[in-house]
Amino acid sequence: MTKLHNHESKAVKLNEKKISLVIPVYNEEDNLPELFRRLLPVMESLERSYEIILINDGSKDSSLPLMLREQKSHPQTVRVIDFNGNFGQHTAILAGFKSAKGQSIITLDADLQNPPEEIPKLISLLDEGHDVVGTVRKKRKDSFFRRYASKIVNKIMNKVTGFSIHDYGCMLRGYSREIIDIINECGEVSTFIPALAQKFAVNPIEIEVSHSARTAGESKYNLFRLIRLQFDLMTAFSMFPLQMITILGGIIFAVGVVLACLGIFGHALSFLLAGIVTTCTGITGEYTGRIYQEVRKRPRYVIRKIYEEGNNV
Ligand code: UDP
Ligand code: MG
């Protein structure tokens, strides 16, 4: 069923290969004018046909009018998908993928932390035949806490998922049409796009890209949302934690038997065990909750309207 190789698209000449940019936007009014100012010259310099797909993920500020103004001035290249509410960065990107018509697809953030000037680098690697261009932020300009936490999370996630991705969080990435077709066939609700793409990649590559500090607006991820995102990543790509729980249960039971035989009981031990049991129940709950989400089969997102050429009234 899956269209793993689309030979037709391979036959397309390089300069005819269309590029799709997918950009999720949530309350970025202070960044959008500068983003458009820097993005267009980069895209024009490539001398290729391209489209810019902006997904408004329920912004409450004036992001939507700013995007619509841009769409009106460039009706041939800019499309705006207006969500009915806030469904999350990865879900917004998935909606962009469904709508993308290009042979090379690039995702990037709207806050200019991913410099648009890096896009040609990604495009030329896709042209060379890589189906996923992963990225690592060089000299990442985020808080010490975010950088340090990411280091630990990247290590844990690679162990747990079996992938070798060095910066899960950098969303300036490139994908081939083949990969996007496969992702478009995945119906999962909670997911993590770089990992999903890596799962299907045949010839991936990872490169360094520069990174800038957020100069306007604020990060949309507080500690709670960051933790939730990591659980999305873990539960979507690994059964390892569930298997660990079973093994841990066996070990604890064996220790209990030994201690009971020796006649040693202590308060510390009960706290320790209670902690382990609660954590394990929590992890199981994370999976169960997501199974419940999947079986409900609610739409992943709701589009209020799509603004594109001939559909702007
Ligand atoms: N974003 C989104 N929906 C969300 C959260 C974020 O569309 O619910 C967008 C946001 O506007 C930005 C990108 O995703 O374009 C990355 O978000 P942010 O800069 O807050 O993440 P950080 O750089 O702090 O990881
Ligand atoms: Mg950011």
Q: How far is the CA of 212 from the centre of ligand 2 (A)?
A: 9
Neighbour order of strands in the sheet with 19-25:
205-210, 132-138, 173-176, 104-107, 19-25, 50-56, 78-83, 303-307
Listed residue (58, 63, 51, 206) closest to 121, CA to CA: 206
Separation between Cα atoms, residue 211 and residue 115, nearest integer Å: 7
Residues with CB under 6 A from ligand 1: 24-26, 28, 57, 86, 88-89, 92, 109-111, 113, 169, 219-221
Q: How far is the CA of 103 from the centre of ligand 1 (A)?
A: 25
Which residues place a Cβ less than 5 A from the ion ligand 2? 111, 113
pLDDT digits over 237-246, tens only?
A: 998 898 888 8
Residue-level pLDDT at 2 = 45
Q: How far is the CA of 267 from the centre of ligand 1 (A)?
A: 45
| Three-state secondary-structure class, residue 297 | coil
pLDDT digits over 81-127, tens only?
A: 999 999 999 999 999 999 999 999 999 999 999 999 999 999 999 99
DSSP string across 96-112: HHHH---SEEEE--TTS
| Three-state secondary-structure class, residue 173 | strand
| pLDDT surpasses 80 at 289 | yes
| pLDDT surpasses 70 at 6 | no
Separation between Cα atoms, residue 242 and residue 6, nearest integer Å: 37
Which of 111, 137, 143, 301 to mutate for ligand 1's pocket (most ligand atoms within 8 Å of CB)? Answer: 111
Q: What is the pTM for the complete model shown? A: 0.88
Which of 150, 220, 233 to mutate for ligand 1's pocket (most ligand atoms within 8 Å of CB)? Answer: 220
Lowest mean pLDDT among 176-185, 197-206, 219-228, 295-304: 295-304
Which one of the ligands is nearest to 87 CA? Answer: 1
Q: How far is the CA of 116 from the centre of ligand 1 (A)?
A: 16
> What is the residue whose two structure tokens read 């065990």?
273
- Give the residue, by CA position, lying nearest to ligand 1 atom 21: 219
Lowest mean pLDDT among 149-158, 164-173, 193-202, 296-305: 296-305
| pLDDT surpasses 90 at 7 | no
Of 187 and 198, the structure prediction assigns the larger pLDDT to 198
